[in-house]
Chains A and B, each alone.
Chain A
Amino acid sequence: VSGRLRNATVVHVQETRNVSRKLIEKALHMRALGYYSEVKSTLLTQTIFEVDRARKSLSRTNRALDQSQNQLLQLVEQRTRSLQQSEARYRDLIENQAAMIASFLPDTTRTFVNLPYARFWGKSRDALIGERWIEVFPESERAAMLARLAACTPEHPVVELEHELKRPGQSVCWLHWQFIGSFDAQGKITHYQGIAVDITERKTMERELAGQREHMEELVVQRTGELTRANQRLQELDQLKSLFIASMSHELRTPLNSILGFSGILLQGLDGELNSQQTDHLGRVQRSARHLLHLITDVIDLSRIEAGQAAVHREAFQLESVVSEAVDSFRHIIKDKGLVLELEVVPQQLFSDRRRLLQCVLNYLSNAVKFTENGTITIRAVAEAGKLILQVQDTGIGIDQEDQARLFTQFSRIDSPQVRQIPGTGLGLYLTQKLVQEILQGEVWCSSKWGGGSTFTLRIPLDIGPEKDGKAT
């Protein structure tokens, strides 16, 4: 507006001047021709008129100018006000917030800091501006920080930085910075704007959490150690128990050896002929002693197997020899009870623990003889797919479905009047199962019906193979 007004005014003034000069030239010319007075009055009138017109024009122009100037002043005032408001708004934005804001040059020289920034350092802005902030950090940390800043490019203008900071007289704090780079036309960085939040609380919590996690891990390690020790102690105790049982059993057997040995000598007549009553009584002593001996032997075997110390004696032998040895032990009692014994044994070469197999057959046979009052006991053995299947079948009292589940458990005896009359410890089948599973690498089962006899079966490999590494034989 002012430009246009000024131009218009200049044109007016010049026009007025031009008109005046032309009138004067005209008057001078007329006077030179002798028309002085006429010219003079005409000229004067005309001049006055023209000057008046020019004056009018000038004052119009002046008014217009004044108006324009007023408008201009108003405009400037308005702009200034709005600029002031805007600046105040931005200043508020920068100053009245928790975040610290700073601008700085690539060498970290501060060019601007906001109030929170100054407050954070407890210094005036003037003291901070012009200083390089990198210098507040220990020498050892600076290179990494500057490298981080240098990662700022026009393509990736934002970089972040977290750092720990120790201010004099203050506890350690943590800041999270976000820097935005400004670049010149060549893409060279000119300065950074940075905004920071105090993340000390978060860091403290993280550290506490980490500490707790570590503590938990420590606890777990500690507890695991305690458990391992407790477990070790238990294993030691278990082995002690086994050792105790083994040595106890040895001590128990020594006097039994005397009882059996000397009663045997007497029965043999080494000390002279016995009458029938003496023979009968000594026979009872011997049978009881033998029974006791078997119990002790069973206990030793069990404790060995449970302690994992049972030795496997591998040897090649004939199945028939085992069966006939077992049968020999019971031939008397089978005959006395009037039972029929049937053997359906297919000759078979085995590589296994002969003594343990014999023990199992003896246990099965012993039960069959014990619980059968009349009828037949059948020993059946066949080889099938590399396995020996051996069965002892009787026509005895049989076992309830319900009781069959407990058959092979320790110290369990069937609770019935018939069973209670018959001596036994409830170890036999448990031991048999353990022997078959742990030594002979096989399995046992039973099928029976109350009142309908029982069939006890064991299935073992014909060849248990060589001993495994690390396992004692």
Chain B
Amino acid sequence: MKALALIIEDNEDNRVLIQLILEHHGYRTVLAKDGRSGIAQVAASRPDFVLLDIQLPDMHGLDVLRAIRGDERTAQLPVVAMTSYALSGDEVRFIEAGCTGYIEKPIEPDTVMAQIMAAIDRHDRSKGSHESIDC
């Protein structure tokens, strides 16, 4: 079974873009347009990893991350934040709050997959996890 990625992103263009790239690389995707439905999807779809925009209309990405980490079933779930340079400084807070890693917008279609995988690999190694995400 192909790995499932949850994309929590309010901007439609970005959502479609990241979805296209992930699917091109053979991932399955589920989408959420805001923080609340994103948290609901984490429980409902049990994704293998999450791509989380840090600026959402209903709540801050940081709070979504905390909600995910607060649930013991998803405490170890890889969550990669998508940051915007305009709000730099958030990266540090994200990593401190238990974020797996972050990628910066604009998303570069040719390198973004590698960045996501690198972040998840680092996360897996540091957590000593033996599971790995299949393509």
- Residue numbers of A with Cβ under 8 A of B are 246-247, 249-250, 253-254, 256-258, 260-262, 264-265, 267-268, 270, 293, 297, 300, 311, 313, 472-473
Q: Is the CB of A260 within 8 A of B106?
A: yes
Given known A-B contacts A254-B11, A270-B24, A313 and B92 have beta carbons under 8 A apart:
yes
Q: Is the CB of B11 within 8 A of A261?
A: no
Q: Is the CB of B89 within 8 A of A265?
A: no
Q: Name the distance in Å between B113's Cβ and chain A's nearest Cβ.
A: 11
Q: How many pairs of residues, A versus B, come closer than 8 Å at their CB atoms?
A: 59
Q: Is the CB of A261 within 8 A of B86?
A: no
Q: Is the CB of B105 within 8 A of A264?
A: no
State in angstroms the CA–CA spacing of A311 and B89 once bound together: 7
**B:68-114 near A, CB below 8 Å:** 84-89, 92, 105-110
Selected contact of A250 from candidates B13, B14, B86, B89, CB within 8 Å: B86
Kindly list 19 other residue pairs between chains A and B, CB separation below 8 angstroms, not including A258-B14, A265-B20. A246-B87, A247-B86, A253-B106, A257-B13, A257-B106, A257-B107, A261-B13, A261-B17, A262-B17, A265-B17, A265-B21, A267-B109, A268-B109, A270-B21, A297-B85, A300-B86, A311-B88, A311-B92, A473-B92
Q: Is the CB of B109 within 8 A of A256?
A: no
- Chain A residues contacting B14 (CB-CB under 8 Å) are 257-258, 261
State in angstroms the CA–CA spacing of A207 and B110 once bound together: 84
Interface size on B, residues (CB 8 A): 20
Selected contact of B17 from candidates A253, A258, A300, A311, CB within 8 Å: A258
Q: Is the CB of B84 within 8 A of A250?
A: yes
Nearest opposing residue in chain A for B105, CB measure: A257
- Chain B residues contacting A261 (CB-CB under 8 Å) are 13-14, 17, 106-107, 109
- Chain B residues contacting A297 (CB-CB under 8 Å) are 85
State in angstroms the CA–CA spacing of A258 and B16 once bound together: 10
State in angstroms the CA–CA spacing of A472 and B88 once bound together: 13
Q: Name the distance in Å between B73's Cβ and chain A's nearest Cβ.
A: 33
Nearest opposing residue in chain B for A265, CB measure: B109
State in angstroms the CA–CA spacing of A250 and B83 once bound together: 11
State in angstroms the CA–CA spacing of A472 and B93 once bound together: 12
Per DSSP, are chain A's interface residues mostly helix, strand or loop, or mixed? helix
State in angstroms the CA–CA spacing of A270 and B13 once bound together: 16
- Chain B residues contacting A262 (CB-CB under 8 Å) are 13, 17
- Chain A residues contacting B105 (CB-CB under 8 Å) are 253, 257
- Chain A residues contacting B89 (CB-CB under 8 Å) are 311, 472
Selected contact of A300 from candidates B21, B85, B92, CB within 8 Å: B85
15 contacts between A and B (CB under 8 A): A246-B87, A250-B87, A258-B13, A260-B107, A261-B13, A261-B14, A261-B106, A262-B13, A265-B17, A265-B21, A265-B109, A268-B109, A270-B20, A311-B88, A472-B89
- Chain A residues contacting B107 (CB-CB under 8 Å) are 257, 260-261, 264
- Chain B residues contacting A258 (CB-CB under 8 Å) are 13-14, 17
Q: Name the distance in Å between B122's Cβ and chain A's nearest Cβ.
A: 15
Q: Name the distance in Å between A37's Cβ and chain B's nearest Cβ.
A: 169
State in angstroms the CA–CA spacing of A59 and B65 once bound together: 151
Q: Name the distance in Å between A299's Cβ and chain B's nearest Cβ.
A: 10
State in angstroms the CA–CA spacing of A297 and B20 once bound together: 26
Nearest opposing residue in chain B for A256, CB measure: B106
Report which residue of A258, A300, A473 has the largest number of chain B beta carbons within 10 angstroms of its beta carbon: A258
Q: Is the CB of B92 within 8 A of A270?
A: no
Q: Name the distance in Å between A247's Cβ and chain B's nearest Cβ.
A: 7
- Chain B residues contacting A472 (CB-CB under 8 Å) are 89
Selected contact of B86 from candidates A253, A268, A270, A311, CB within 8 Å: A253
Nearest opposing residue in chain B for A270, CB measure: B24
- Chain B residues contacting A300 (CB-CB under 8 Å) are 85-86
Nearest opposing residue in chain B for A248, CB measure: B86
**B:102-135 near A, CB below 8 Å:** 105-110
